């Protein structure tokens, strides 16, 4: 082993770390992504040291200048992340030392990597959650546009994937709009809970007599307030779990939408088709056009779940205080962000591009006696029966239609009168899918009038400036 002892904590060590320890201990391969946030934290901390009288004005100038130079070289992709320096904090500290000498060591007075890394990660999540909210917003715009374009198009609404009752195609897309609206809220809530600054908590107990102004630090880093308890500040990663959880739920919604589209583009359904630009072919079957894009959105959602499970599992057995296990929190967070960003962008393209086969959807909306409930409702309203009695009568009409191999609305009035002589021809008006949709005027129902209101309301929830 060479004698190249760790410059940050090597004081009490006689031997250099083994190659294997370095391999398992190093995080620079992934936490280099925190470079921007780490420098931001260092800049503010340096200023707080000046306020505390630990560095002089000229020292502060040198430190800030040095940090800004590092920041520039990172931005220009010129900074060499060195695997000998285990993580991003040490890389930046050592680069600063190379530039301004031992003064760099002053920057770390009263500061631990434990409070620093928690702060870096909170800032990183905060910044990137903003991007996710923007992408959800853009996706919602696409859903609104699709709803407007398909307001009067009719499709079967399903329960158990069996035709249940007709709905407007817009109603379908707006259901997803609502789900993504709640996703957006989950991310916005996360921005509230993450808004406390851990910096100034030291390794676990707080700082000594240095008079570090945590309110100043918190404010300068854009947080609402400093965290309340130094031990909690360095120990927990619930904010990262919140991020992974909100991302998993968002993924679940995207995956369900994908699943529908996969079913809908099958030749048996033929409700939708994708353009060539968003389909793939088969290397053996020349005729194939496959919906790989949405299949991969569905598959990648499993990665979001596993990232959530991974961090939850890492955390569940940790004793109070910092443990090195916490270093692994960044891998799921970064990977989840990258995945969420990708699948949101892909789904945006898919929904924009998708071709709706109106005729097929409409024809299918008539299948499986989809207006049998309307039949029963008409009987309740016009013949004064209870819904259960009306349901029974409608069931008999279905059996009759099944026997005659026709639809409910194709039954002769004479046949219907055999079920109940009071049934009149007016009932036919209620058996048409279009009429059926039109009548669902309860708040939030699929009636065209309700959907128009829903679209108007949805538009108020969208930021059109983004």
What's the closest the beta carbon of residue 1 comes to ligand ARG, in angstroms? 21
Q: Would you state the structure tokens that stand for residue 244, as one six-digit string?
A: 């992974």
| 416 and 372 Cβ atoms separated by less than 8 Å | no
Cβ distance to ligand ARG smaller for residue 147 or 230:
230
| 50 and 57 Cβ atoms separated by less than 8 Å | yes
What's the closest the beta carbon of residue 322 comes to ligand ARG, in angstroms? 5
Cβ distance to ligand ARG smaller for residue 6 or 341:
6
Spatial separation of the C-alpha atoms in residues 132 and 414, rounded to whole Å: 60
Spatial separation of the C-alpha atoms in residues 147 and 389, rounded to whole Å: 37
Cβ distance to ligand ARG smaller for residue 192 or 324:
324
| 370 and 163 Cβ atoms separated by less than 8 Å | yes
Catalytic residue among 160, 267, 283, 442: 160
What's the closest the beta carbon of residue 64 comes to ligand ARG, in angstroms? 23
Cβ distance to ligand ARG smaller for residue 28 or 179:
28
Spatial separation of the C-alpha atoms in residues 92 and 105, rounded to whole Å: 11
Burial class (CB in 10 A: 0-12, 13-18, 19+), 394: buried
What's the closest the beta carbon of residue 335 comes to ligand ARG, in angstroms? 16
Cβ distance to ligand ARG smaller for residue 41 or 347:
41
Spatial separation of the C-alpha atoms in residues 36 and 221, rounded to whole Å: 12
Q: What is the DSSP string of 119-173?
A: HHHHHHHHHHHHHHHHHHHHHHHHHHHHHHHTTT-EEEEEETTEEEEEEEHHHHH
Residue 219: count of CB within 10 angstroms of its CB:
15
Residue 450: count of CB within 10 angstroms of its CB:
20
> Helical H runs in 8-160?
19-25, 28-31, 35-51, 57-75, 88-100, 113-149
What's the closest the beta carbon of residue 12 comes to ligand ARG, in angstroms? 14
What's the closest the beta carbon of residue 327 comes to ligand ARG, in angstroms? 4
Cα Rg, the chain, nearest whole Å: 31
Catalytic residue among 18, 56, 275, 282: 282
Residues in the site for ligand ARG, rule: CB under 6 A?
A: 27, 31, 87, 113-114, 117, 322, 324, 326-327
Cβ distance to ligand ARG smaller for residue 173 or 322:
322
Q: What is the DSSP string of 288-329?
A: --B-HHHHHHHHHHHHHHHHHHHHHHHHHTPPSS--GGGGGG
Beta bridge partners of 273: 355
**160 noted as active-site residue:** yes
Alpha carbon 310 to its chain's center = 17
Cβ distance to ligand ARG smaller for residue 31 or 450:
31
What's the closest the beta carbon of residue 368 comes to ligand ARG, in angstroms? 57
What's the closest the beta carbon of residue 54 comes to ligand ARG, in angstroms? 22
Cβ distance to ligand ARG smaller for residue 78 or 324:
324
Contacts 24+ apart (CB under 8 A), 272-277: 272/354, 272/355, 272/356, 272/357, 273/354, 273/355, 273/357, 274/350, 274/353, 274/354, 274/355, 275/353, 275/355, 277/353
Active site residues per annotation = 160, 282
């Amino acid at each position: 082993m060479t004698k190249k002892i760790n410059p940050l904590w090597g004081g009490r060590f006689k031997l250099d770390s083994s190659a294997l320890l370095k391999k398992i201990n190093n995080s620079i391969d992934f936490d280099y992504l925190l470079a921007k946030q780490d420098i931001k934290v260092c800049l503010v901390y340096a200023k707080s040291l000046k306020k505390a009288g630990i560095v002089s004005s000229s020292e502060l100038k040198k430190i800030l200048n040095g940090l800004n130079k590092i920041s520039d070289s990172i931005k220009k992709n010129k900074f060499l992340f060195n695997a000998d320096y285990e993580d991003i904090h040490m890389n930046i500290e050592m680069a600063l030392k190379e530039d301004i000498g031992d003064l760099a060591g002053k920057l770390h007075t009263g500061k631990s990597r434990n409070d620093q890394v928690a702060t870096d990660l909170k800032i990183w999540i905060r910044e990137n959650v903003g991007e996710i909210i923007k992408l959800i917003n853009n996706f919602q715009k696409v859903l609104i546009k699709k709803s407007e374009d398909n307001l009067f198009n009719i499709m079967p609404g399903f329960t158990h994937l069996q035709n249940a009752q007709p709905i407007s195609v817009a109603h379908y897309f707006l259901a997803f709009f609502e789900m993504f609206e709640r996703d957006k809220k989950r991310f916005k809530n996360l921005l509230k809970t993450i808004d406390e600054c851990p910096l100034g908590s030291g390794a676990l107990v707080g700082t000594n007599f240095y008079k570090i102004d945590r309110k100043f630090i918190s404010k300068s880093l854009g947080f609402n307030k400093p965290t309340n308890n130094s031990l909690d500040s360095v120990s927990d990663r619930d904010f990262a779990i919140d991020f992974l959880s909100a991302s998993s739920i968002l993924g679940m919604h995207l995956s369900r939408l994908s699943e529908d589209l996969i079913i809908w583009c099958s030749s048996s359904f033929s409700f939708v088709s994708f353009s060539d630009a968003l389909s793939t072919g088969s290397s053996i079957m020349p005729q194939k056009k496959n919906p790989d894009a949405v299949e991969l959105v569905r598959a990648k959602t499993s990665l979001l779940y596993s990232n959530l499970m991974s961090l939850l599992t890492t955390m569940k057995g940790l004793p109070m205080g910092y443990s090195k296990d916490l270093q692994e929190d960044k891998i799921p967070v970064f990977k989840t962000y990258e995945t969420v960003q990708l699948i949101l962008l892909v789904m945006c393209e898919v929904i924009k591009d998708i071709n709706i086969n109106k005729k097929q959807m409409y024809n299918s909306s008539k299948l499986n006696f989809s207006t049998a409930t309307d039949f029963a409702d008409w009987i309740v309203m016009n013949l004064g029966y209870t819904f259960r009695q009306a349901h029974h009568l409608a069931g008999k009409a279905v059996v009759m239609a099944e026997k005659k191999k026709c639809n409910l609305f194709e039954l002769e009035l004479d046949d219907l009168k055999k079920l109940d002589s009071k049934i009149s021809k007016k009932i036919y008006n209620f058996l048409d899918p279009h009429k059926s949709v039109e009548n669902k005027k309860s708040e939030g129902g699929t009636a065209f009038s309700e959907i128009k209101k829903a679209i108007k309301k949805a538009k108020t929830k969208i930021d059109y400036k983004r």
